[in-house]
């Protein structure tokens, strides 16, 4: 799996052991439903082309190093940056980090007073939003 910063083509390569956990929890058709005074419903539907959440979680206890998480956090803190996300199955999406609530998280495999960048983290979660 890789994350490419579109503005300068720099690439961060990560493990392919991530699972897209909300792949089927979104629809491009959005509904607005309003009840009428007579008890009926007025339903309006629109198709949206962006905003799909892409939440990736490390599978089978496999994660990333502390150094990779630090690199991801640097990318999270870039304002207005768009990335090209290539998933292990070859799907490619233009994404931004979903910064509403912890876009990057993980837990150290063991807790040390001083953790080197090579220290493994598991239960890694990455949150993105697809953009056009």
Residue 132, pLDDT score: 82
Q: Domains of the chain by range and CATH? A: 2-130 (2.40.30)
Across 17-29, average pLDDT = 91
Confidence of residue 123 (pLDDT cuts 50, 70, 90): confident
pLDDT at 48: 86
Assign residue 101 a region (left: φ > 0; alpha: ψ between -120 and 50; beta: otherwise). beta
pLDDT digits (tens, 9 = 90+) for 46-99: 988 889 999 999 876 667 889 999 999 999 999 999 999 999 999 999 999 999
Contact of 55 with 127, CB cutoff 8 Å: yes
């Amino acid at each position: 799996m890789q994350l490419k910063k579109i503005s300068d083509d720099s690439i961060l390569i990560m493990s392919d052991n991530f699972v897209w956990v909300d792949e089927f929890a979104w629809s491009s058709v959005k509904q607005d439903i309003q009840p009428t005074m007579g008890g009926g419903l007025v339903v309006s539907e629109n198709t949206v082309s962006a905003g799909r959440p892409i939440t990736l979680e490390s599978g089978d206890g496999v994660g990333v190093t502390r150094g990779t998480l630090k690199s991801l956090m640097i990318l999270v803190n870039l304002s207005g940056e768009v990335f090209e996300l290539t998933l292990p199955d070859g799907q490619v999406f233009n994404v931004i980090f979903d910064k509403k609530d912890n876009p990057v998280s993980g837990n150290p495999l063991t807790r040390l007073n001083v953790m080197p960048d090579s220290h493994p983290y598991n239960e890694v979660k990455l949150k993105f939003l697809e953009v056009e």
